[in-house]
Amino acid sequence: MIIVMQLGATQEQVDAVAHVIKNLGHEPLVLPGEDRVAIGIPDSLGQDERIRFEAILSAMEGVSKVTQTSRPYKLASREFHPQSTTVRVRDVAIGPGTFTVFGGPCSVESYDQFLGAARMVQAAGAKVLRGGAFKPRTSPYSFQGLALEGLKIIKQVSDETGLVTVSEVMSGDMVSVVAEYVDILQIGARSMQNFPLLIEAGRSMKPIFLKRGPSATIDEFLLAAEYVLSQGNPNVILCERGVVPIDRSYTRNTLDLASVPVLKEYCQLPVVVDPSHGTGVAKYVQPMALASMVAGADGVMVEMHPDPREALSDGSQALTPKQFEALMDQIRGLAGYLELSL
């Protein structure tokens, strides 16, 4: 429910409405707007409560109208947050007017491999370095990541290059450990509805890179973001990484690029597209990365590897350093046209 105040409503009138909401047992969320203030009630209200609250609040002085929110998510809704969020991590701003490239290998494999990849990512002009230390693999026999050793490599390489880093955390009890070593915590697609993990990640107050579940609807995706936001952590980046395809013979997932304008319309959070997992095929990454920019994404996450043939995971979708550099050149060109800073 959102209570929209009249143009020129006084601070006392706003305070009075907030006070009444508190007395009714709910936490008011004051939303300052361009020309008028609105006050939100993020909690879900039952039918009877809604009718009663509407009658009480719409009769108060300074209130223009009381509207029911149409979506199940609140803190992740533009109705509550009309202004787009910019997530700031050291010198990197992810949000409107910018386009951020997250580049790096699927997995951290060794210090040399990761430093090599980082130098190439940096030389090509990308700002954020990715690399998994804990890998969610379909088979328990596949490479599972270097775990703590991988985190230490990420930190060391970040210290040496100055690059902002992102890496996956797979369980709630590992959040504080991963948060010590990386700048942005990634929640993988398979973990999107691991609710204890979402809560711990929210509590860490670190920026969270939240990937869409392989079968998640937009509402489920935004409700997962809501779990993080409801811990008082506003710094969530949404990542579209493709959904379960009807045909796996050509691509690994179906990259849902239409989700970009949809997410941007209904939610204030930045949206980043991952065309690497979205297609699973290196040669399709470039066209989908450029299409993401045109669709309105705030960035892309692209897997690259110093030598994709040697990669311990996801080699078939990794760009070579040359391909990554060529993609960055095209992104720069398109960014100029779209008036986005890199």
Query: Which residues make up the interface to ligand PEP (CB under 6 A)?
Result: 106, 132, 136, 188-190, 211, 241, 277
Binding flag, residue 274, Mn ion (CB under 5 A): no
Least CB distance to ligand PEP at residue 274 (A)? 6
Element (H, E) at 55: helix 47-58
* Subset of 132-161 contacting Mn ion (CB under 5 A): none
**Should residue 314 be labelled a site residue for Mn ion when binding is judged by CB under 5 A?**
yes
From the list ligand PEP, Mn ion, none, partner contacted by residue 189 (C-beta under 5 to 8 A by kind): ligand PEP
Q: How many other CB atoms sit within 10 Å of the CB of residue 217?
A: 12
Tokens at residue 79, please? 């109705």
User: Binding of Mn ion at residue 327 (CB under 5 A)?
Assistant: no
Contacts of 151 (CB under 8 A, 6+ apart): 133, 167, 177, 178, 180, 181, 182
Strands 164-168 and 128-130: parallel
| 141 or 337: CB nearest Mn ion | 141
The whole-angstrom separation of Cα 163 and Cα 183 is 10
Which partner, Mn ion, ligand PEP, none, binds residue 211 by CB below 5 to 8 Å per kind? ligand PEP
| Chain-centre distance for alpha carbon 314 | 22
- Strands (DSSP E) along 41-132, which ranges? 63-67, 87-89, 92-94, 100-104, 128-130
Is the CB of 41 or the CB of 201 nearer to ligand PEP?
201
Q: How far is the CB of 23 from ligand PEP (least distance, A)?
A: 44
Minimum CB–partner distance for residue 186 and Mn ion (Å): 11
Closest distance of CB 142 from ligand PEP, Å: 12
- 109 lies in the binding site for Mn ion (CB under 5 A): no
Binding region for Mn ion (CB under 5 A): 106, 314
